[in-house]
Amino acid sequence: MINTTKLGLAGLCEGALLPDARLAELEKIAARYAVAITPAMADLIDPSDPHDPIARQFVPDIRELETSPQERGDPIGDNAHSPIEGIVHRYPDRVLLKAVNACAVYCRFCFRREMVGPGRGGLSPAALAAAVDYIRDNPQIWEVILSGGDPLILSARRLKDLAARLTAIGHVKVIRIHTRVPVVAPERISAALVRALRAQNKATFVVVHINHPRELTAEARAACARLVDAGIPMLSQSVLLRGVNDDVETLGALMRALVECRIKPYYLHHADLAPGTAHLRTTIAEGQALMRALRGHYSGLCQPGYVLDIPGGHGKSPIGPSYLCDDGKLVEDFNGRRHCYPPEP
């Protein structure tokens, strides 16, 4: 497991990231949802800014105890598609393997916030063996996505062992790792860990979760470069968050910074209906307007897919704006001008 020092509520107070007067009320949040931030992220927070976008992602807010009727503990319906412990099999050709239920940091908007936290560990050896057997017994599975929790809190030895087990399954051709670690604990991306991720004769991708350009520190950029230089392609996923990245300048700067680091923007997630997260969610219309503002003004390399994970376990759907109008007879360009298609003779 990761041995990077993490700050809980008391540590946030000691670091002046939370006033002592709020400790008692925020302990109510910590009793329900995990709280931890790494030094790398704590160092980015400006305690004098009440709207700091890094703090907004990691520092608890008393509004987390307010749950709206449409919010749910399993907002994307993992449980409905979990045939055995540790496996989510929602789509025919890929599965999610949740090897661990803890993270290096705990995001305040996490859609699995009811299921992850310190002390929850990971799959037992027997459960992990059963999960690998499930993958082996289902030949339609082409891709395995390592998630959790954050799989990169595991040691290089354990990651190498897991990669070897998956590599031995002939029909698995792609291993994808979803992680926050290269950004929140970049020192973890050691040469040994990079070697552990390089599965022989399989395509390995790392998808890094990042929401604000300030998270791409020099150390984070170097960690990502170690992965890319080793031949591991990187993609990104971000969550659209009110007060963090819900303006075109911030979102555009994030996408450009990712591309400069050789990381292809992949998904921009509409925030899920996790309990106590209403204050962080935008509307879909606001997200669509942001995607329109990116289109044409930022390189095509900087365009993520704006997606909604449909509550109840029905999967992701693209919800970006449409540029077709008048029953498909007109198409709108990035400046808002409309054109006939096909062109009139």
Catalytic residue among 52, 56, 78, 90: 90
Contact criterion met (CB below 8 Å) for 218 and 186: no
Per DSSP bridges, beta strands 263-270 and 234-240 are parallel
- Of 254, 265, 263, 210, residue with least CA distance to 234: 263
Catalytic residue among 6, 78, 103, 188: 103
Angle between helices 248-260 and 284-294 (to 10 degrees): 60
Q: Is 272 a catalytic residue?
A: yes
* 78, HSE (Cβ side, Cα atoms, 13 Å): 22
Catalytic residue among 74, 150, 246, 272: 272
Q: Is 325 a catalytic residue?
A: no
Number of CB atoms found within 10 A of residue 327's CB:
6
Structure tokens at 173: 């051709």
Contact criterion met (CB below 8 Å) for 198 and 170: no
Catalytic residue among 52, 78, 107, 306: 107
Catalytic residue among 78, 106, 108, 110: 110
Angle at 168 between CA 166 and CA 174, to 5 degrees: 45
Q: Is 90 a catalytic residue?
A: yes
Catalytic residue among 72, 91, 198, 256: 91
* 278, HSE (Cβ side, Cα atoms, 13 Å): 11
Residues with catalytic roles: 90-91, 94, 103, 107, 110, 112, 272, 309, 316
